[in-house]
Amino acid sequence: MEHQLKLYKKAAGIAKIGLWELDLPSKKLTWDLVTKQIFEVDEFYQPDLNEAMAYRIDAPGPDRLNQLLQQLTSSKETLSTEYKIKTATGIIKWIESHTQAEFTNGVCYKLVGTVQDITEQKELIETLRINQDRFHQAFDFAPIGMALVSPKGKWIKVNKSLCELLGYSEKELLRRSFQKLTHPEDLNLDLEYLHRVLRKEISSYSMEKRYIHKTKEIVWVQLNVSLVWKDDTPLYFVSQIKNITDRKQAEQEQKKTMLIINDQNNRLVNFAHIVSHNLRSHSSNFQIMLKLLAETSNEEEKKEIISLLLQNADHLSQTIDNLNEVVKVQLNSHQHKKALNLEQEIKKVLLSIKAIAEEQKSSFSLDVDPNLSVFCNPAYLDSILLNILTNAIKYRSPNRTPKIEIKVYSVQGEMALEIADNGIGIDLDRHGSELFGMYKTFNQNKDARGIGLFITKNQVEAQGGRIEVESQVNTGTTFRVYLPGGTDN
């Protein structure tokens, strides 16, 4: 027994647990060295009961002290308490105390106990409590969306900003998983990152993704995710969700603008090349013929050269007219736009080419909702329809009569005009990149000038639309023109 007591005292000293005892008959209080160190008194200090109680900041009064003594001496249970003391040097400490009574023949004759300095633990707990309060305060009132998400993807806790961002109440959001609210095209990447975090391959991840708002609108966010662990068990993901929709829309608009600028630059370079090439050709011809005219004295040769000069002048005039037409398309691209009923406009053009169509025994089929309209310059729409439809007749197959199918349908706010023929077709593998170029021809048709599709493409794009083509040699060609939709009539 004595050996065990020595071991206990040694262990208590190592653990910095102070031992004390109070002899009740004599009221003598004894502190060991560790207790004296805790209370910051010297090793020769001999306390009495009143002095010991005076160190406590919330020292119990005489009545409460007698009540505690009576409770201890009438029970064999250990009394455990925590309280603050002010040491002999004025330092405030938290103390954990355990007290038990010892009995002989049923009579309590001694109280024994331990004291331990738990100030560091108490301060740590208080710091954690303050940090937790601060976390919840920052979480609840953060200007960006915040969420705690279970490892299975269920919302555990969401803040007000996230609810406002996605359009749901807190109750509605907690009933959903983030997978159901994530845009399908972004879900796989998000889940891949999440599983990598769970496998401890990465500690956190950041990505741009899209959520689907309650109204079905797309919300772009910057997502930052980390995982809280307890030992090797994942507890929850902490997600920070910042709305970047405005920035993404601005980036998309910037990309569109850059595409337009690049396209315009390409057109400008192409236009400059055309001007330079064609005008230089005409100029060279003039120089050569004028030189020949000056050198010859033969009247017949003079008449022939003058005739060639006149022809060259006509060609130059035609070239300038074509170039002016291209310029006018760009300058007038936003003028005189209005909602035009497509069925009426198509029928008007078909009527204007009726004679040509009947001469070639051409047939037309028209599939268009009479209520569909486009927002376009009337002259441009007329020119677009006229050029594509006359081309369908002009480039007919010699082996069959022309059949032209016209369809109009709505596609995401745009009107799609589809004109398909059964003509000779175009080898797009060879000529696709040059199809809409100026002065580009791809067959032996004597009427081909290589300007019609160039003008048509410019007119379509000047109205904010686009044009596509599908074709197969000896089978036919389909043009699709997409134009901004107008209002229903």
pLDDT tens digits for range 35-67? 999 999 998 999 888 888 889 888 777 777 677
* Residue 431 clears pLDDT 60, i.e. is over it: yes
Which residue has tokens 């065990």?
A: 4
Cα 335 versus chain centre, distance: 36
**pLDDT at residue 382 in the model:** 81
pLDDT tens string 225-238: 999 888 888 888 98
Q: Is residue 332 over pLDDT 70?
A: no
What is residue 110's predicted lDDT score, i.e. its pLDDT?
Answer: 87
pLDDT digit string, tens, across residues 81-108 = 888 999 999 999 999 988 888 888 878 8
SS3 103: strand
Per-residue confidence (pLDDT) for residue 225, from 0 to 100:
93
Question: Which one is predicted more confidently, 8 or 170?
Answer: 170
The reply to whether 142-243 shares the fold of 2-123 is yes
Q: Where would I find the beta strands (DSSP E) of 231-310?
A: 233-243
> With 50 as the cut, is the pLDDT of residue 313 above it?
yes
Is the model more confident about 332 or about 243? 243
Give me the helix-helix angle, 452-462 and 378-394, nearest 10°.
150
Structure confidence at residue 188 (pLDDT): 94
Confidence of residue 434 (pLDDT cuts 50, 70, 90): low
Instruction: Using pLDDT thresholds of 50, 70 and 90, give the confidence band for residue 390.
Output: confident
Give domain 338-484's CATH architecture.
2-Layer Sandwich (3.30)
Instruction: Give the architecture (CATH level 2) of 2-123.
Output: 2-Layer Sandwich (3.30)
Per-residue model confidence (pLDDT) at position 367: 92
Expressed in angstroms, the distance from the first to the final Cα of the chain is 106
* Higher per-residue pLDDT: 277 or 208: 208
| Per-residue confidence (pLDDT) for residue 448, from 0 to 100 | 44
**Range with lowest mean pLDDT among 46-50, 139-143, 153-157, 385-389:** 139-143
Q: What is the pLDDT of residue 73?
A: 72
Amino acid 385: pLDDT: 87
In sequence order, what are the residues at sequence separation of 6 or more whose Cβ sits closer than 8 angstroms to the Cβ of residue 351?
Answer: none
- State what percent of residues in the chain have pLDDT above 70: 80
Comparing CA positions, the residue from 437, 441, 392, 393 lying closest to residue 417 is 392
Q: Which tops the pLDDT comparison, 297 or 223?
A: 223
pLDDT over threshold 50, residue 1? no
Q: Where are the domains of the chain?
A: 2-123, 142-243, 248-331, 338-484
The second-level CATH assignment, the architecture, of 142-243 is 2-Layer Sandwich (3.30)
Distances in whole angstroms, Cα of residue 157 to Cα of each of 154, 230, 237, 239:
9, 18, 10, 10
The predicted model gives 472-477 an average pLDDT of: 89
Highest mean pLDDT among 116-120, 312-316, 437-441: 116-120
Global model pTM greater than 0.75: no
pLDDT band at 489 (very low <50, low <70, confident <90, very high): very low
In angstroms, how far apart are the furthest CA atoms of the chain? 158
